[in-house]
Structure 1
Amino acid sequence: MNTGDAAMKPLGSQDPDQLGRYRLLAMIGRGGMGQVLLGQGPDGRLVAVKRIHRQFTGNPEFRARFRREVLASQQVTGAYTAGVVDHDAESETPWLASEYIAGPGLQDMIGEFGRLNLSGLKLLATGLAMALLEIHRTGLVHRDLKPSNILLTNDGPRVIDFGIARALEDDVTLTATGAVIGSPAYMSPEQAECRTLTSASDVFAVGAVLAMAATGASPFDAASTPQVLYNVLYSSPNTSGIPEPIRALVDACLAKDPSARPAPEQLLDAASRIDAEPVWPVRIRRRIADCQAEAGRWADGTASAAAAIVPAQPKSKWARLAPAAASVSAVVLAAIAFWGVGVEGHAVAMDDPPLALTDDETRRLDICALLDPSVLGELGTPVGEFVPSGISGCTIAYRYQDGRKVSFGLETSNSVAEMRDDKQPMGSTINWMPVYGLYKESASCDRMVLTQSGLPMVLNMSASSYPPAGDLCPAAERALATVVRRLSVNPPLRTFPPGSLLPLDPCALIDIAATRSSVGDLIRSSTPHGCALTGADGYYSVDITDRVRPDNITGGKVRQTRTIAGQTVYLDASGPEYCTFIVMVMPTRDDQAEQVRATYFSTAPQARGHCETAADLLGPVLEKLPPS
């Protein structure tokens, strides 16, 4: 679906006034598959609502693709990507809503203003590398990264449209065997040949996008699609017109061999070393401000009133506002007022390196050490002892200089979906990571960020006091910022005993094929010590932690046991739609041990019980565990 560069228009007589909880304000764009509408939530936030044309809703394959888009978009968020905030994929006319990005598309800006300067290219390269880190860590490959799927904001680019994104484990084709899905001028050679894709395919697309932004044209451009595909497969692109600091990076991304391309981490490192301030040209910053003002007028009703009174007049190329470019995927950004900088202002350079932890470091983090006075000492003096909460949380109180006693808690067990469902962007950033929370002001407040590389990890800092001691949201955000700074320099790590489960990757323990057959087409969501595979028919999750033994809990309750794969497991809970097993491994104290907690949930009717399916899925997990 492509809306070109037209400005938003009033709703038509056939357009709904409301979808879900969102009041609809204007038409952003219309395409062959559906329409995208500007909406406003009950809290005033603007959203872009993607609504599918009725004639496609009876096609099971199309509905399945739409569900995949919803699942994929829900997993991806961060400073340079975004995800869905609400949806109804099962309604008569399916729709999804995402927070609205008031910014023009890269394709339109290059077409109107010409190629980017070195500063703009650095900001583009850095943002796209950060976006790939976010997309790929969810187990997805975007598959359609092109200039029209990149929106520009003052903070950097935003990658949108996950309509054909697929899990890396999945087959490349969405339709008939041999069908080519994607945009020929920006697809990788392996995608053009319908081979199985890896994350390197998106890196190739980044190279093609950077070449286009630096020269004004795709490096594989030709008069016909077959010739474009031939160039992608066999021709060496001419990159001589690209500025030298960017040229080597583009050449590396455009290697025909996927294994020869840089990883997104290497792409980010190379882009950060370019000697230029990462900022858009002033004309693009002006256009971004125009887009923000246009969206604001629709939100307060002045744009719709003017459109109803004033006849449409031909617009100059400069006056064509580009918020319509946001329509293709209806993507995430919070209230636009939070993100703007002045028309003549300067974007802030990325002086602080982005937080980057290896997978092993993420799983070994000593959470209590991150609340130590060596980290939070600027906030006050610690009072009492650390109170651990399993492997992923810790709490301690600090006394401020004014005498207030504030309890700080740090958790890393929240999932990306939980953060998106419960929190909203606050408008600030820490190391270029958007800060999320529930309240702007509160006597009991939390602030969180989602790390931009490595394993998905939500860092959730809470601040509370009893009795209540005023607004603690600034304290929570300040504490979170100090933790991020420490993690960027010298993360404190735990040492686990031999045979411990805690350093393991839970996703690697799961039989992917068996899980897919039970829950359907998979989208992966993980935390440092957990993995959830979600499909149209349910989900299966495996979490590793250290908890109280299930056969020795308060009240003397003894749980049922059964034998699976030669091991004794405990039935933790079961119901009409779910079943949860607990496996105790390697006791650490008399009443505690590391444990594997596995849950199977299904919405599809089954001929046998859910616990039988849960047992079948748990068997391969147990076989991969180290001996206890």
Structure 2
Amino acid sequence: MKGLGSNDPRQLGRNRMVAVIGQGGMGRVLLGQSQTGRLVAVKQIHRHLAKDPEFRARFHREVLASSKVTGAYTAAVVDSDTESDNPWLATEYIPGPSLKSVIDETGPMSLGGLKLLLAGLASALIEIHRAGLVHRDLKPANVLLAADGPRVIDFGIARALEDEQLTATGSVIGSPAFMSPEQAQGQPLTPAADVFSVGAIVTLAATGESPFSGTATPQVLYNVMYSAPDTARVPAPVRAIVERCLAKDPLQRPTPQELLDAAATIEAEPAWPGAVREAVEEHRNDSNWWAATTAKHARYEAQMLALKQRRTRSLRAAAVAIGVLILLDGTAFGAREWAQQPGHATPASDLSVQLTAQQWRTLDVCALLEDSLSRQFGSRFGEISDAIAGTCGSSFTDPSGTQRTFELVIGSTDTQSEPLLRPTGSVAAWMPMYGVLKEAASCDRWVITQNHPSVSIKLRTRISGKGDACPASEQGLRAVTNRLAVNPPRMTLPEKSIRPLDPCTLLDRKLVSELAGPAVTRSDDPTSCYWSGDSNYFSLTLTEGTRPDQSSSAYKLEPVQVDGATVYVDDMFAKFQSSRCDLTYMANPTRKDMAEVVRISFGSWTNASNPCDRAKQVFSAVLPQLPK
């Protein structure tokens, strides 16, 4: 999620807007909060589309369709306004990721997760069809994963079964890889079309791929209509159920109730895998944080409004008194002097930090430190310490002669320090500020961004002599986050730099599954990606570090050739019988003994004896994608 923009509404109906969940071609989805504190998801269509009578009628039908559906596995309609300039629909907010994002990030589901997914989708279809509707656009992006099961959302192209005009032959609307053959051919639809979509969705969740994948939409549609589905990698207990759903003949497909009964026969505990539970918890924490922060900001704005009103009354009284003096003096000199006085405009403040992953990767941390702190803490003196990527330190002297040393660290959260962090009660750019010590001559303050990727911003402040550095650390961290929110400085990078690359996109999901084993989970920060499976774990990092060819004699790395490139290997298995291997490749020398490097660390949970072979396999997949 991210903060509301200047053009986003602050109130829709009885709901206060809190944050932006996402945006598509048809509109924006906002997180809102009702007067009772209930969180809602508000879909507001774009203003230019609201002027189209046909689109407005379609949106009105979506509201009516959504209002008909009830049940535990759909999102209930809470409020709507289809007649306003910007029509909107508010539904129950589901604190969970979409099935699409979960499969993209963590890979195929466990058998227990498939059982819970299948049972939930079948239950949702029972309620949808009971309302006399066919959803027509069931796909992974329209399935949200809540803690207790899936939820079906988005009835944008749902149609009533008796609506012959809107289901006439020739009308093809939907998502190609998940639509039924009859829908692909523009034929009238029955509830069996949604059952077909469930089969395609469950196959994707089980294997990570669509059963009808193709290189282009026409090929996908052809496969849907004429080719047998690829279900070979679907677990055996689920495969027969899925294949019945994917029958070309609608009459051969099971009913939703039969699907629900079949799901009950799967011998597994219906529960999400750990990675899904973590994603659900992350979404819940994210939405709760935005709601609490917005409420706090609303109270702050109310206080500021009251102060402004009192100031206005005081200024009016002063203006009347000065007007009397001017009138008595009989000259315009006083009026001219009054007009030249500075006004009361103030710069924007308390903005939110909304950097993309690439902006974080290319951030100039040293420029950020100096630009943010020099105005408040005086001129910088001494050397800049920037030997570690994402870290910069320097000293400043203010006009009173007080010397302070600051170290700014930007990157992934510190897993060792994080359990010790306590809220300080302060806020920087809408983010709670954390610390370990309340008062100290060397004081650390943190904020952790709420959007993805989650980034830790830490400022360590040391003051010369005795004194408390924590107030300066908090003041400095606010200055840093304000600069990040407005105009973050970027590094000047060489043309073939690897720093802008997203490491998580350099390996395909199939290779990751082969290397890590089943049930792969993934975590990442802007410069690193980490995968963990049942058998192995490994990470890929693109950063700046010490040149591997200049490592110390006490820690000499072995140069080897991989696909014509020189890489430097630290084989822990050969040294200590520890099943781990670190591989470093120098992509671009930068300055002194520094270089842009690719680091791969591969380890085994089962103490396998070939971690370096696997690390080289990862590098072979990454090398062709680096800038030439």
What TM-score do you get using the length of structure 1 for normalisation?
0.51
Match in the other structure for 2:114 = 175
Match in the other structure for 1:412 = 410
Match in the other structure for 2:487 = 490
Mapped partners of 1:610, 1:514: distance in 2: 15
Structure 1 residues 236-251: aligned runs within 5 Å: none
Give the secondary structure class of the aligned counterpart of 2:617: helix
Give the secondary structure class of the aligned counterpart of 1:621: helix
Is 1:615 the counterpart of 2:558? The answer is no
Residue among 467, 470, 474 paired with 1:470: 467
Residue among 191, 194, 197 paired with 2:140: 197
Mapped partners of 2:116, 2:94: distance in 1: 28
Q: How far did residue 568 of structure 1 move?
A: 1.6
Mapped partners of 1:188, 1:547: distance in 2: 56
Mapped partners of 1:616, 1:517: distance in 2: 11
Question: Deviation digits for residues 284-304 of structure 1, max 9, x if unmatched?
Answer: xxxxxxxxxxxxxxxxxxxxx
Contact 2:144 2:153 in 1 (8 A): no
Match in the other structure for 2:627 = 626
Residue among 587, 593, 607 paired with 1:591: 593
Is 1:513 the counterpart of 2:437? The answer is no
Q: How far did residue 458 of structure 1 move?
A: 1.9
Q: How far did residue 620 of structure 1 move?
A: 0.5
Mapped partners of 1:420, 1:388: distance in 2: 23
Distance 1:231 1:195, change over 3 A: closer
Q: How far did residue 451 of structure 1 move?
A: 2.7
Q: How far did residue 493 of structure 1 move?
A: 1.0
Mapped partners of 1:230, 1:158: distance in 2: 12
Q: How far did residue 175 of structure 1 move?
A: 1.5
Greater relative contact order (Cα < 8 A, sep 6+): 1
Which protein is bigger by CA-based radius of gyration? 2
Structure 1 residues 279-290: aligned runs within 5 Å: none
With 593-602 and 511-520 compared, the bigger mean Cα shift is at: 511-520
Give the secondary structure class of the aligned counterpart of 2:412: coil
Give the secondary structure class of the aligned counterpart of 1:484: helix
Question: Deviation digits for residues 172-226 of structure 1, max 9, x if unmatched?
Answer: 78325981547849x999x97896634x7669x9xxxxxxxxxxxxxxxxxxx99
Mapped partners of 1:188, 1:355: distance in 2: 40
Distance 1:195 1:123, change over 3 A: closer
Is 1:559 the counterpart of 2:557? The answer is yes
Match in the other structure for 1:539 = 537
Q: How far did residue 412 of structure 1 move?
A: 1.5
Give the secondary structure class of the aligned counterpart of 2:16: helix
Question: Deviation digits for residues 227-262 of structure 1, max 9, x if unmatched?
Answer: x999676149xxxxxxxxxxxxxxxxxx97799xxx
Q: How far did residue 481 of structure 1 move?
A: 0.9
Q: How far did residue 461 of structure 1 move?
A: 1.4
Match in the other structure for 1:436 = 434
Report the RMSD for the aligned CA atoms in angstroms. 5.1
The count of corresponding residues between Structure 1 and Structure 2 is 386
Mapped partners of 1:396, 1:332: distance in 2: 35
Distance 1:496 1:416, change over 3 A: same
Mapped partners of 1:131, 1:461: distance in 2: 31
Distance 1:592 1:427, change over 3 A: same
Contact 1:78 1:450 in 2 (8 A): no
**Match of 1:414, as an amino acid?**
S
Is 1:166 the counterpart of 2:105? The answer is no
Residue among 8, 12, 17 paired with 1:123: 17
Mapped partners of 1:126, 1:230: distance in 2: 17
Structure 1 residues 254-269: aligned runs within 5 Å: none
Question: Deviation digits for residues 440-469 of structure 1, max 9, x if unmatched?
Answer: 3332222222234464322221112354x3
Match in the other structure for 2:369 = 371
Q: How far did residue 522 of structure 1 move?
A: 3.0
Mapped partners of 2:388, 2:394: distance in 1: 14
Contact 2:97 2:144 in 1 (8 A): no
Is 1:346 the counterpart of 2:291? The answer is no
Match in the other structure for 2:50 = none
Q: How far did residue 610 of structure 1 move?
A: 1.9
Mapped partners of 1:547, 1:159: distance in 2: 42
Q: How far did residue 500 of structure 1 move?
A: 1.1
Identical columns (%): 27
Match in the other structure for 1:135 = none
Q: How far did residue 394 of structure 1 move?
A: 0.6
**Match of 1:407, as an amino acid?**
T
Mapped partners of 1:158, 1:404: distance in 2: 51
Distance 1:554 1:192, change over 3 A: farther
Question: Deviation digits for residues 83-114 of structure 1, max 9, x if unmatched?
Answer: xxxxxxxxxxxxxxxxxxxxxxxxxxxxxxxx
Contact 1:515 1:540 in 2 (8 A): no
**Match of 1:459, as an amino acid?**
I
Mapped partners of 1:589, 1:230: distance in 2: 53
Is 1:549 the counterpart of 2:547? The answer is yes
Give the secondary structure class of the aligned counterpart of 1:372: helix
* Structure with higher helix content: 2
Contact 2:392 2:409 in 1 (8 A): yes
Mapped partners of 2:176, 2:472: distance in 1: 46
Give the secondary structure class of the aligned counterpart of 2:140: coil
Contact 1:188 1:201 in 2 (8 A): no
Contact 1:516 1:522 in 2 (8 A): yes
Match in the other structure for 1:9 = none
Distance 1:161 1:384, change over 3 A: same
**Match of 2:495, as an amino acid?**
P
Q: How far did residue 433 of structure 1 move?
A: 1.7
With 498-507 and 400-409 compared, the bigger mean Cα shift is at: 400-409
Question: Deviation digits for residues 44-77 of structure 1, max 9, x if unmatched?
Answer: xxxxxxxxxxxxxxxxxxxxxxxxxxxxxxxxx9
Distance 1:375 1:166, change over 3 A: same
Q: How far did residue 531 of structure 1 move?
A: 1.6
Give the secondary structure class of the aligned counterpart of 1:572: strand
Mapped partners of 2:616, 2:358: distance in 1: 29
Q: How far did residue 553 of structure 1 move?
A: 3.1
What TM-score do you get using the length of structure 2 for normalisation?
0.51
Q: How far did residue 375 of structure 1 move?
A: 4.5
Residue among 523, 526, 530 paired with 2:524: 526
Distance 1:408 1:604, change over 3 A: same
Mapped partners of 2:403, 2:560: distance in 1: 48
Match in the other structure for 1:395 = 393
Contact 2:74 2:153 in 1 (8 A): no
Contact 1:424 1:437 in 2 (8 A): yes
Mapped partners of 1:258, 1:428: distance in 2: 50
Contact 2:73 2:124 in 1 (8 A): no
**Match of 2:385, as an amino acid?**
V
Residue among 577, 580, 584 paired with 2:579: 577
Question: Deviation digits for residues 302-349 of structure 1, max 9, x if unmatched?
Answer: xxxxxxxxxxxxxxxxxxxxxxxxxx969759xx9xx79999x93658
**Match of 1:527, as an amino acid?**
D
Q: How far did residue 580 of structure 1 move?
A: 0.8
Distance 1:589 1:403, change over 3 A: closer
Contact 2:137 2:158 in 1 (8 A): no
Mapped partners of 1:597, 1:541: distance in 2: 8
Distance 1:546 1:402, change over 3 A: same
Give the secondary structure class of the aligned counterpart of 1:166: helix
Give the secondary structure class of the aligned counterpart of 1:595: strand
Distance 1:525 1:342, change over 3 A: closer
Distance 1:475 1:534, change over 3 A: farther
Contact 1:411 1:459 in 2 (8 A): yes
Contact 1:384 1:396 in 2 (8 A): yes
Mapped partners of 2:98, 2:414: distance in 1: 19
